[in-house]
């Protein structure tokens, strides 16, 4: 039974990512500690790959998105999501899970339908 529950959770997360991608045109703001990051790209689960770059020194993780400044949203094997600020090489922890990160995406008032 736990295997079925795990598969259900994985399918749910994939659906959640698909919905976030579908709504990215208007629901693309992520606010963390008063700073707003605008998501430009989200990566479908089937297209995510482990990071293999000279700057990456952590455990296995994959890039799940990019903001309009070119910074990477990183999903860690622990489940947490962080943002790597490329200019400063700083990493900011944003959420405890990918689902929590996707649920926190907010409507961008600057986008007019």
Could you tell me if residue 95 is inside a domain? yes
Tens-digit pLDDT profile for residues 84-103: 999 999 999 999 999 999 99
Tens-digit pLDDT profile for residues 46-96: 999 999 988 888 789 999 999 999 999 999 999 999 999 999 999 999 999
Higher confidence at residue 102 or residue 111? 102
CA distance 60 to 41: 21
Torsion region of 70: left, alpha or beta (phi above 0 gives left; psi -120 to 50 gives alpha) = left
Q: 91: closest CA among 57, 68, 45, 53?
A: 57
pLDDT of residue 95: 96
- Show the domain range for 53: 2-107
In the chain, how many domains are there? 1
The pTM for the full model equals: 0.84
Q: 10: closest CA among 27, 65, 2?
A: 2
Could you tell me if residue 113 is inside a domain? no
Confidence of residue 4 (pLDDT cuts 50, 70, 90): very low
Could you tell me if residue 18 is inside a domain? yes
Could you tell me if residue 91 is inside a domain? yes
């Amino acid at each position: 039974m736990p295997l079925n529950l795990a598969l259900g959770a994985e399918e749910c997360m994939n659906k959640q990512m698909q919905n976030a991608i579908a709504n990215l045109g208007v629901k693309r703001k992520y606010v963390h500690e008063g700073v707003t990051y605008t998501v430009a790209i989200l990566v479908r689960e089937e297209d995510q790959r482990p990071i293999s770059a000279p700057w990456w020194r952590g455990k296995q993780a994959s890039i799940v998105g990019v903001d309009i400044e070119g910074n990477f949203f990183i999903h860690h094997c622990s489940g947490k999501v962080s943002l790597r600020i490329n200019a400063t090489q700083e990493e900011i922890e944003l959420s405890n899970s990918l689902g929590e990160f996707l649920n926190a995406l907010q409507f961008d008032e600057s986008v007019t339908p």
